[in-house]
A and B are shown apart, each in its own frame.
Chain A
Amino acid sequence: MFIFVVSFLMYLLLVWSGGAIPLIEVLIALILASVVTVAFRSWHRGRKISTRGLDPKRWFGFFHYLFGPFAVGLAKANIDVAKRVITGNIRPGIVKVNPGLTNDVAKTLLADSITLTPGTLTVDIDEEGSFYIHWIYVEDENPTEEQLYGSFGHWARRLAE
């Protein structure tokens, strides 16, 4: 139901062009939302979507994260990589780190944040929850979480665990 409502509203948001929405678009939105919902059900049979995601406190936390530490990290990453593009100063390698996350949403959030920030790219995650990260300038072959991605581990635990 949650997915149906979100995809229905998203479609209407994208086709809205300033005036009233024609009835045919609403019909198309209903059909597409149904298709998405049925497809999701059959791919993830028996999977419950937790309602904890609707807690407004989490959303405030998420936006705080997105515009605070994440935006700063994104800017720093880009200036760092831009410098390396120009100077060609690289020392690449794949390092392993285990942040000890159990929840899929938290892992996804952390992996995406790692990929978009300073010189790091998530390559794989194994069954124990260890992240294998390609690092463009390896400072330490057995790095700590702090060295690799600063406070992001703390944020992922706080927002999604």
Chain B
Amino acid sequence: MTDSRPVLTMTGISKSFPGVRALHDVNFRLFPGEVHALMGENGAGKSTLIKVLTGVYDTDEGAITLHDEPVSFSGPMQATAAGVSTVFQEVNLCTNLSVAENIFIGREPRLFGAVRWGEVRRRARALLARLDLDLDVSAPLGSYSLAIQQMVAIARAIDIKARVLILDEPTSSLDADEVAQLFRIMRQLRDEGIAILFVTHFLDQVYEIADRITVLRNGGLVGEYLTTELPQLSLVEKMIGKELDVLEGIEEHSRRDLATLEEGTPLVAVSNFGRAGAVEPFSLTIHAGEVVGLAGLLGSGRTEVARLLFGADRSDGGQVAVDGTASSLRTPAQAIDHGVGFCSENRRAEGIVADLSVRENMILAMQAARGWLRPIPRRRQDELVDKYVKALNIRPADPEVPVRNLSGGNQQKVLLARWLITEPRLLILDEPTRGIDIGAKTEIQKLVTQLSDGGMAVLFISAELEEVLRLSHKVAVMRDRQMVAQLANDESLDADRIMQTIASGSHREEADR
């Protein structure tokens, strides 16, 4: 099926941003008539590579050739004109315009400046027929499902005699049927000889559709493999970048026995919690003083679990018991009343209020719980803030500066302080150590251990297995939006087994009774 000559090659690509080496000496090639999956963890450089390819970024070093001719695009428009089209993760179409308008917007066939609408519709119909889609091209795009919109975006992309089609996480918001529909079209285009670069976080999908896989890690190339020659477990290993034997020697610290911890009434017990399109129903119990790790690849539903437990999203059904009594977690305010705190992984958008000062950001959750009529006396505020600025070593130690002036790690600590001030009984930490320097990382890990020793329950979400293993008493594993296993963190549990569970989704022995 694959031609012997690649349609597109990228050699020795390097790209740096101030302080970050996003890509280092990466090679990539794409053959006509293949689906090539680009894999890697969050921050591995996948989107940077695509942006370099389509001319959004200039390269620092390296060369790109298309059909054996060196090219250097100045932007996606030029790339598209040369036959390299991209469909981005978020559908960049106008839902209020018609299907036909969306396909031809910006390049309508014209006659003396006037758009030839008949021609637009006729060509749109022909194009969609090629994709085996039967749509009313005059209907507004918004009246169709997200999957259809995604396919209209593809139709728009391939209209321009595309030879290379880049699909950046096209399936992240689609359900199983819609994915099947998309794959049918991808196969059809592949059989027509179009080279497809496919980015996704779903392992199953890669093995279903991709012919070849390129793995990136930390901006570097790990390797290029034929899908048939790369077992799922090896793929996960290559993405995470830990050789199994290296991980095996993790230090065992004095960890309390899970059985002792799980005696008595659980602090929070949920059963059949789930939300359509976000995460399949799951059951989970968390006891006081217990650290529950949530492992899984990005997009596997880790954050969704956290948001349901905090009431940030509502569960479609299921029951909650707090201290053994049936209750509900339907809004964040309700969850906070039950003593739950939640540090979002999206610090900027969902965590800090950039305009407000460090002090105000810290006391925000406590003040919200008291209501605006009972302000926290200024002296008490200063005491609390001072205590946590010192305890968490927040820099600069001036609580009156706007929080936006702090570095990412310090902003993270401010958020931690916001919740610690409320003295929560269950603290949900979603990627608390991502994107912060190693010093702050260790401090936060240490803090989690201290808190759990003090009786606080922690739900710890992290992409780094090492971290999850070191801190947790119990590890729940997420895979493709399902909680596939809950494993007791005893001697028998290591990164190997977690990775196997992530890769295969097998229901191993359940730690949860």
A and B form one complex: no
